[in-house]
Structure 1
Amino acid sequence: MKKILIAALLAVTIYGTGACNKEWLKPEPLSFYEPDLTYTDAASMKAALVACARNARIEYYGDNPPILTEMVFSEVTVEGTTDKSGPAQDLNLLITPDGANFNNADRARIYYYWNEGYKGIKYANTVIERIDNAQYSSQAERNAILGAAYFHRALRYYRLTHQFGDVPALMKEINAPQLEFYSTKRDVILEYIKKDLDSAKDWLQDNVARGEVTKGAVLHLLTKVNLALGKFDEAIASASAIINGGAYALMKQPFGATKKNVIWDLHRPENKSLGENKEGIFMIVDRFGDGGYDGGMRIMRQAVPYWGTNINTPSGRKGTNDNVNPEFIQSNLYGRGIGRCRPTNYSQFELWTDPNDLRHAKGNWMTMEDLVYNEPGLKNNNDAYYLKPLQMRNASGGLLCTDTIRCWFGWPHYKVFIPDTENSPMQGGHSDWYMFRLAETYLLRAEAYYWKDDPAAAAADINQVRERALCAPITAAEVNIGAILDERARELFYEEPRKTELTRISYIFAKTGKAAYNGKVYTLENFSDNNFFYDRVMEKNNFYRNGTVTNHGDKYTISPYHVLWPVPSNSIQGNTYGIINQNKGYVGYEGNRPPLDNIPE
């Protein structure tokens, strides 16, 4: 009874007090986020740019990183996961505007690019809009920060306009909810960011910390934008400013901590950000413990075959083991792959026409026959194949691998081998990564010369890259866009956004009316129905061309309209007072309106 009385009195006290005075219910936060009080000096502005850098980094890291989606919409790879439906294989079926799951490890990562692209723009706009609210040690310091923000915003728009075409152009900081956005013409956005990059190139320096925006990074991106706009003389000038500027050079001799061969050394984690390495123009920085993805890149998990299973010996026994228990731990040498990033015949075989190419040399490039049977049970049974090279077929011609899509292909070991201290077996640890490097600059300038009908100059630039890899030079007569794309595929695997670059080139063909090497001429009027992107992919990608079917029964398909990705339907539907257009080939296209031809100031 006493306990009940005390409880009743306590209730009366609480509710009685509340009835008389509700002030005690008001929250009293310890602090407020006030942007006007936060962005007051150079340090706070640079801190805001860190969000842009992290936003760019995650394209390459984690499981099924977004860069793989760029690669599967191309001629170089397909999605190799064969044990379930959902991964991006039947693109005609799976790629829709309603793909709510298009940003997870079991799907295409299309909406990563939409969502994270606009996040990066938001972060950059915050700095741009507030640039003069802060105090700086000099005008040069202020301009360098503004130039870096211009670069990050331009980088996102360059990608968005070649992934989704006409998109909303948000060039101001948005401080309140807004439901009135409109698609803007792709070329209008490109012209706007070109203006920004033309300013930024004079404000930034190259002698900055790795991971920060360099003058070379601005010029490299400007070269791509100039190409996209058909300004080929300006593309040559911006690329030449990097090549001849003295801050960068192709690495042509063994270097760094490894000194094995220049191709191997160039892609070692410990060498990428060395001061001695003059090739990296814009670096993605990832170190253990720096707040990046747990487990690092996981690149070996993505790009190495699923060799630990589904492979038998000619004697009929299980042949391989990718765990850490066997006597011979093969996964410590090559990583434990799941075959997600499956190369096509084009990128695995057809590209490699020069027997001296270091990028395809034994030790740099791996074939399945370079692996050995390491299953402990083989030793226990005195099987003659223990620690002998893998075989694809037995003596009578029967397959010894039950899933050749996922489990049997070659790969560029020199690029994807990233030692891993966090995962066992190894999946691919922490490493800096090249987003822009000088080899690509040469190939961009070669492309500009191609569009200018100067094949001799184009060949000279392509040969800078080829001869570094010990390849024979090509002649001017051999130069066409196919030769340039081939060299890009050899050199820039897992670096370049391949779909973006194919779409950019497709737009140029459509704008200029220049005949491609296949003899076809393209136009902008029917761009989503007839384009170089689709013709190139179907010519080179044997999976899409042949309608290959996986073990799970899923068919590989692609269509011309995949030259542009679908705009997420939730962005269109939630924009209740404006109009964001959908791309042709996807549900919602019928509601389009002419895109804006200007960007309101």
Structure 2
Amino acid sequence: MKLSIQKSIYKTLALATAGILISSSCSEDWLEPKPLSFYAPENTYNEASGLWGAMVACERNLRHEVTGDGPPILTEHIFSEVAVEGTTDKSGPAQDLNLLITPDANLNSTNTNRIGWYWYEGFKGIKYANVVVSRIDDPTDYESEAERNHILGTAYFHRAMRYYRLTQQFGDVPLILEEITQPKLDFYSTDREVILRKMKEDLEWAEEWVPAEMDRGRVPKGAVQHLLTKVNLALGEFDDAIASASRLIDGGNHALMTERFGATGNDDSKNIIWDLHRPENKSLNENREAILMVMDRIDTDGNSGGMTSMRQGVPFWGNNINTPNGNKGTSDKNNIAIDQVTEFGRGIGRLRGTWYHQSMIWDDDKDLRHAPGNWMDMEDLVYNNPGINGSDNYYGQNLEFRNADNIVLVSDTIRSWFSWPHYKLYIPDPQRTQPQGGHSDWYIFRLAETYLLRAEAYYWKDDLAKAAADVNAVRTRAKCDPYTAADINIGTILDERARELYYEEPRKTELTRMSYLFAKTGKTAYNGKSYNEESFSENNFFYDRIMEKTDYYNKGVFTKHGDTYTMSPYHVLWPIPANAINSNTQGQINQNKGYAGFENNVPVLTTIEEPTE
């Protein structure tokens, strides 16, 4: 199907299934009669290709989490221990969370945060998937039952993926299992475990019917198994999590990449970690580690501006840094004698790695992920401002943080001085004179994470030897010494995730999922504390972990603009956007504890009313 036709299908989907959860305003123009479109649902979905078009819409929306300026994935990292919001020249970015993260705040802007994006786009993905689920028997051109079930299984995957994320980001949310064909104002929140159990049921069915081999960008069986493992973990069903992860790891279709490969495989100055994250290598058939990808190419119709990963996650090194002689030391121009911007990008320091991510987790000097060339420290850059060439003897020399008098040479240490994973964020950007991070396919699921998920399941079962073996599969690939069973706790697993999955994993989602499990099981964490579900919003592992590891929220750090970094335990769950609650006039979407509106909550639904035929 051509992309132009796909665009028309997107428009049809938006019209056919508009509901209050995905609208920011209401009007009565839907009452006006309109001519029947060629792309009306009854014409579009009577063929299998029309239903696949709805799946293309789901795939497209996955891409938007990691592309464009201020992509939503940053918010997932900022609400964790690995990074903070580094924009320091204005109020509004997610720094003073106690003040700024409220239900009626701007929750969907590159200048604030993208919490609202996850809410509305999550339900958009559910909408597209539900179109397929509700209309699965409309087409008359299926070649076989297997084709019909493959499409349905793919829809189940996309719906389950959105609900997995929403239930870890927001907790109890409305459960919608069928296409909405007219305005609806009576949604109610459903218990998150009820939702997850339904998603597990759907994924177990989908696993049988989704093929193991699919084109890159489409959903293969391995993606279903990977997501099922996450859902099993979220439910506390650890044996099932081990089983689903093992079916993927041992299935023969995927394997960790341990040998050099791809277009960069013969570059002796690089290593396997570099190969794994090169844009030209990610979607190669020989890259067996890739499970689920989003596709982003320069010539893609309706492309979203590229990854911008260098703009987001690289320091604002082109400004705020002086030489020891007091002169402006750096320049992010590309038409100068020492061009650093082409390789490292024009960073603005929006995603500012914490000391935990920069230093605390690196416990082995041999780690390829932290090796020169893959990892960048500020001292690896040089003073390159052409205005000081010939007048300042530090021109061309490596950057220094302090001068001989112990005076800090950086006027904004939050935004302009920190280390970063160059191998992960470097995306060539030929379309911009000051590169920000160009177009690249991106990992959504990768087998390295599957190993770490299985390791976590073994941890919850106190089988620390097997947990260590799975962590070590990832760790030794990076040339680190292996851990022993005695080394393993949830902290070492989180550390390995931070080393391996920075700017890939939805960090807040996974940290909240683990926090729910500590509350559900009562298991004592490595910090000596235990937790319970009754006081989840006041006392949880999420908050304690961030306070333990971060060097911002726990120390009263303030920005150049004067905003102080704050966080509270209730941030373990994000606020439900006020508009979603207020517009739902005939029902009740509950608000999370700690936010205004919580006092209006009603008991959540604990049973599922199956869609009617």
TM-score normalised by the chain length of structure 2: 0.92
Paired with 1:417 and 1:267, the residues of 2 have a C-alpha distance of 9
1:129-150 residue CA offsets vs partner (Å, 9 max, x unmatched): 1011012111111111111100
Kindly provide the amino acid, as one letter, of the partner of residue 133 in structure 2: I
The corresponding residue for 1:167 is 173
Paired with 2:504 and 2:217, the residues of 1 have a C-alpha distance of 15
Contact 2:297 2:303 in 1 (8 A): no
Of residues 456, 459, 462, the one that matches 2:465 is 456
Contact 1:236 1:448 in 2 (8 A): yes
Kindly provide the amino acid, as one letter, of the partner of residue 557 in structure 2: T
Contact 1:197 1:222 in 2 (8 A): yes
The corresponding residue for 1:88 is 94
The corresponding residue for 1:104 is 109
Given the alignment of the two structures, is residue 205 of structure 1 paired with residue 211 of structure 2, yes or no? yes
**C-alpha displacement of 1:295:** 3.0
The corresponding residue for 2:570 is 561
The corresponding residue for 1:67 is 73
Matches within 5 A, 1:507-526: 507-526=516-535
Contact 1:295 1:423 in 2 (8 A): no
Contact 1:463 1:474 in 2 (8 A): yes
Kindly provide the amino acid, as one letter, of the partner of residue 295 in structure 1: G
Paired with 1:542 and 1:240, the residues of 2 have a C-alpha distance of 37
Matches within 5 A, 1:554-593: 554-593=563-602
**C-alpha displacement of 1:464:** 0.2
The corresponding residue for 1:357 is 367
Matches within 5 A, 1:544-555: 544-555=553-564
Matches within 5 A, 1:140-159: 140-159=146-165
The corresponding residue for 1:12 is none
1:544-599 residue CA offsets vs partner (Å, 9 max, x unmatched): 11121111100001100000000011111111111110000000000001100011
Contact 1:247 1:278 in 2 (8 A): yes
SS at match of 2:334: coil
Paired with 2:213 and 2:511, the residues of 1 have a C-alpha distance of 32
The corresponding residue for 2:235 is 229
The alignment yields a C-alpha RMSD, in angstroms, of: 1.1
**C-alpha displacement of 1:27:** 8.8
Contact 1:59 1:67 in 2 (8 A): yes
Paired with 1:28 and 1:188, the residues of 2 have a C-alpha distance of 40
Of residues 358, 374, 385, the one that matches 2:384 is 374
SS at match of 2:552: helix
Kindly provide the amino acid, as one letter, of the partner of residue 362 in structure 1: P
SS at match of 2:258: coil
SS at match of 1:313: coil
Given the alignment of the two structures, is residue 446 of structure 1 paired with residue 455 of structure 2, yes or no? yes
Kindly provide the amino acid, as one letter, of the partner of residue 186 in structure 1: R
The corresponding residue for 1:404 is 413
Paired with 1:289 and 1:574, the residues of 2 have a C-alpha distance of 39
Give identity over the alignment, percent: 65
Kindly provide the amino acid, as one letter, of the partner of residue 115 in structure 2: I
Structure 2's unaligned 5+ residue stretches are 1-31
SS at match of 1:48: helix
The count of aligned residue pairs is 574
Kindly provide the amino acid, as one letter, of the partner of residue 430 in structure 1: H
Given the alignment of the two structures, is residue 239 of structure 1 paired with residue 245 of structure 2, yes or no? yes
Given the alignment of the two structures, is residue 300 of structure 1 paired with residue 310 of structure 2, yes or no? yes
Contact 1:295 1:422 in 2 (8 A): no
Given the alignment of the two structures, is residue 132 of structure 1 paired with residue 137 of structure 2, yes or no? yes
SS at match of 2:280: coil
Given the alignment of the two structures, is residue 324 of structure 1 paired with residue 334 of structure 2, yes or no? yes
SS at match of 1:128: helix
Kindly provide the amino acid, as one letter, of the partner of residue 227 in structure 1: L
Paired with 1:257 and 1:192, the residues of 2 have a C-alpha distance of 43
Larger radius of gyration, structure 1 or 2? 1
Paired with 1:544 and 1:356, the residues of 2 have a C-alpha distance of 31
Paired with 2:33 and 2:515, the residues of 1 have a C-alpha distance of 57
SS at match of 1:132: coil
1:334-358 residue CA offsets vs partner (Å, 9 max, x unmatched): 1110000100000000011100000
SS at match of 1:131: coil
Matches within 5 A, 1:418-457: 418-457=427-466
Paired with 1:412 and 1:81, the residues of 2 have a C-alpha distance of 19
Paired with 1:68 and 1:293, the residues of 2 have a C-alpha distance of 19
The corresponding residue for 2:6 is none
Paired with 2:586 and 2:470, the residues of 1 have a C-alpha distance of 50
The corresponding residue for 1:20 is none
**C-alpha displacement of 1:31:** 3.6
Paired with 1:27 and 1:352, the residues of 2 have a C-alpha distance of 63
Paired with 1:118 and 1:27, the residues of 2 have a C-alpha distance of 27
